[in-house]
Amino acid sequence: MVVKLLALDTSGEQCSAALWLDGKAAWRDAPAGRRHSQLLLPMVDALLRGAGLRPGDLDGIAFGSGPGSFTGLRIACGVAQGLAFGAGIPVLGVPTLMALAEASGAVRALCCVDARMGEIYHAAYERRDGQWATVSEPALYRPQMVPLPDGAGWVGVGSGFAAHRDALGERCGARLERVDAAVVPHAREMARLAAAGFARGLGTVADDALPLYVRDKVALRSDER
């Protein structure tokens, strides 16, 4: 069973890294803007030095696979691949929207991240037998078109609810129990999810690690604006 792992996330405005040791997490985070590549490796170095570890002492490395910022996803994936390849250890991509669900403290989480261009990244998860079951796969939607999950008691989490609160509130209606738009993807939750994933044998070799982009373009044409 994996007991020592590193988790990295650069999918959004915040940069974070977490070290998971025997069921406990230590982490570093900071608002990043466009500085993810400058901040991430110093965070990793500080966490490993603080625990007296080297990359080769780890059992695995996890990264926020997406959806999220294209550039950010590539940074976390690339750093995870480089460290894992050099240390000869497996990697695991953790969906950023599932990390939101993990942070929500809910049993049913409707996760929405602002994707700009009037769209959101959306997924829905329900906790069953201690694990997250996917109700709606991560995908890109207009707020007015998100899939409606069955039943009530859903907690809305993520920046999509800050950017499109009215549209999502009208769409989801009484299904929403409450909303926490301040929750962001974080390596802390990714470490916890990855520990369970590695224990189930979900890790892969570094070469096979890939971001989950979802969107295939990052800007609108002039006639689309």
pLDDT tens, residue by residue, 15-25: 999 999 989 99
pTM for the full model? 0.93
Strand runs labelled E in 129-198:
131-141, 154-157, 176-180
Alpha-carbon gap, residue 67 to 46, rounded angstroms: 27
Alpha-carbon gap, residue 58 to 114, rounded angstroms: 33
CB 138 within 8 A of CB 154: no
Alpha-carbon gap, residue 108 to 136, rounded angstroms: 12
Give residue 1's pLDDT: 60
Q: How confident is the model at residue 215 (pLDDT cuts 50, 70, 90)?
A: confident
Exposed/middle/buried for residue 150 (C-beta within 10 Å: 0-12, 13-18, 19+): exposed
Give residue 133's pLDDT: 98
Give residue 182's pLDDT: 96
